[in-house]
Amino acid sequence: MELRQHKGTRLGAGMRTFDPHDVQRFRGDGQWRDRTFLDDFLDHAGASPDKAAVVSYVQGRTLPETVTYGQLRAYVDRFAAVLVGLGVERGDVVSIQVANGWEGPALALATMRVGAVPNPIPIIYREHEVRHMMEDAGTKVYVSPQRFRGYDFEEMALRLHREVPSLTHVFFTDGDATVDAEHDFARHFIEPRRELAPKLPAILEALRPGADDLAMLVFTSGTTGKPKAALHTFNTAWSGYRNVIVDALDLTSDDVAFMASTLGHLTGFIHGMLVPLSMGQKVVYQDLWDVDGMLDMMETEGLTWTLSATTFALDMVDAQRHRNRPLASKLRAFACGGASIPPGVAVDMDRIFATSLVPLWGCSETGIASIHHLGSSVEVLDASDGYPVPWQETRVVDETLAPVEAGTIGNLQVRGPGVFAGYLGRADLTEGAFSPDGWYDTGDLGKVLPDGAIRIEGRSKDIIIRGGQNISAVEIESALYKHPAIQDVAVVSYPDDRLGERVCAVVVPREGGAALTLEDVVAFLDAAGMAKPFWPQRLLVLHDLPRTASGKVQKFVLRKGLAEEAGKPPHDRPQSPAQSEVQPQGQP
């Protein structure tokens, strides 16, 4: 595979080499192609310029905003011209941290249009996470709101503008009268750029990316305590995400997608933007999750499919039970991943909405590795996390990499055309993520059921999945070790019916130190700039942490105790001499 735009560049560092025989096979099987998501979108915009592309529902506005394919194409070209004028070149990174709306897709597609690489960042992240991502990615342009849900992005962004060497331009999408003209997104991007118009088509054509070039740079939580930047080409993303969901849900251009997950998250970026817009679908956004509003949209917008976390499905079931009015639903499919699905939810979705809750499993690096198909019985959907994707290989192995028998829990590994291209600048991590014979180790534990389906049994990676959001326990621990009253700390998950998992900080206080409360811990993390989803909802204060003979913390003991206290099977509650609990705001 030839990465013509990135070979030998900083973005190319850490990328793996694809076996030529595999490349030939991927192309022969139709899983890799000579087109990009951008090409697909441009074709649909040319063929159906008057069709609605994006419908945005924004809190505080009475009516939604609709942008057609023709209008979105015009914005993409205009934004691309601005990026060229700002000096954005092939391989440069544009970080996009905006609320759901048409601006995000327009900016991401414009970034691709000039051969640069979009880096979506979840709107919930704060300075602690954003600084690391920008420094790691070498971000050149950053776009965010001026303020959103009470958070001052402007103050954060301007500080990063001064302190991150690569960051040359910062813009705010909702700039008010106080924003400096230099940083006003509307002034720079939305107003016409006539001076580039005559030569723009030729410039953009010369910069247009190929199918084997990088399509996105997304950060994924890991066990090292810092998110890693995973790289996907247009082809790996096509095979790992787009083709899988289209095949499983029988999607066509007539379908209407819904997305409440932030476009800064891989779920929103892929399934709320690239998939629907590459198919010519209408996609409907909420900037803030509003379950009653979503139920109204099912009728007014004719929603037919979505992909999101279990939390959203649980909210839909609960809200409709309390609405006490009939609902005309066209929602055929709710693809569900990112957290375990409680028993009975698939039955409720089918009974209340006539919607198939379609479980899937995968990760940022592999795309969707297993999924059920639309039309499967509720019993089948309830029984597992789907069947392996036919064009990717999945295996379950022990610690020696020997395959285990069906029904035996082992390490899940994947290889095939949807597996990512590598970690940015980390050839060591890229190499270490693969077995000698080319299988990507997902870090998940699972087993193969008698019918060939995959059942996820846990994670060997130290990751907590809260409402579909991956949270690095090690990153929180690293921050809490700096607390002057904490001697030792372990961060683990505990089960929750709605979010799947929540975050518990188990701490050993320093001798003679001040008494610790959950409020103290949360305030400390807030002051450190850590995003609210990372804050623990529970604090356990212990005299010692359980450890192995070699000194490693036995987190499975803590998880098991928390789960038993909740009366649930482990994601793996200890007897706690002190504990407290809060619910951070800003997450479903």
Instruction: Say if residues 242 and 275 touch (Cβ distance below 8 Å).
Output: yes
Same domain, 101 and 208: yes
* Residue 273 resides in a domain: yes
- Within the chain, what is the greatest distance between any pair of CA atoms? 72
Number of domains in the chain: 2
Q: What is the Cα–Cα distance from 480 to 399, expressed in whole angstroms?
A: 32
pLDDT in tens, 109-149: 999 999 999 999 999 999 999 999 999 999 999 999 999 99
Domain boundary pick from 412, 444, 476 = 444
* Residue 64 resides in a domain: yes
Q: What percent of the chain has pLDDT over 90?
A: 65
pLDDT of 339 higher than 80 = no
Q: What is the Cα–Cα distance from 222 to 510, expressed in whole angstroms?
A: 28
* Residue 449 resides in a domain: no
Domain boundary pick from 411, 444, 477 = 444
pLDDT of 582 higher than 80 = no
* Residue 287 resides in a domain: yes
Residues of the domain holding 476: 463-581
Same domain, 411 and 550: no
The pLDDT-based confidence of 587 (bands split at 50, 70, 90) is very low
Instruction: Say if residues 154 and 146 touch (Cβ distance below 8 Å).
Output: yes
pLDDT at 196: 57
* Residue 14 resides in a domain: no
Same domain, 86 and 114: yes
Same domain, 358 and 269: yes
Same domain, 181 and 328: yes
pLDDT at 498: 86
Same domain, 475 and 440: no
Q: Residues 6 or more apart from 410 whose CB is under 8 A from it?
A: 396, 397, 398, 404, 445, 446, 447
Same domain, 507 and 560: yes
Same domain, 313 and 250: yes
**Mean pLDDT for the stretch of residues 563-583:** 48
* Residue 7 resides in a domain: no
Same domain, 241 and 155: yes
* Residue 270 resides in a domain: yes
Instruction: Say if residues 91 and 6 touch (Cβ distance below 8 Å).
Output: yes
Same domain, 527 and 380: no
**Mean pLDDT for the stretch of residues 25-49:** 96
Are β-strands 356-363 and 333-336 bridged in parallel, bridged antiparallel, or unpaired?
parallel
CATH of the domain at 102: 3.40.50.12780
Same domain, 280 and 177: yes
More confident residue, 124 or 283: 283
Q: Which of 154-168, 324-338, 441-455, 574-588 has the lowest mean pLDDT?
A: 574-588
What tokens were used for 105? 């897709």
Q: What is the DSSP string of 321-339?
A: HHH-S-------EEEE-SS
Same domain, 279 and 420: yes
Q: What is the Cα–Cα distance from 294 to 287, expressed in whole angstroms?
A: 11
pLDDT of 55 higher than 90 = yes
Q: Residues 6 or more apart from 271 whose CB is under 8 A from it?
A: 241, 245, 257, 259, 306, 307, 335
pLDDT at 469: 81
CATH of the domain at 557: 3.30.300.30
Q: What is the Cα–Cα distance from 52 to 379, expressed in whole angstroms?
A: 37
pLDDT at 517: 94
- Which residue in the block uniquely carries the two structure tokens 């939305």? 190
pLDDT at 12: 67
* Residue 206 resides in a domain: yes
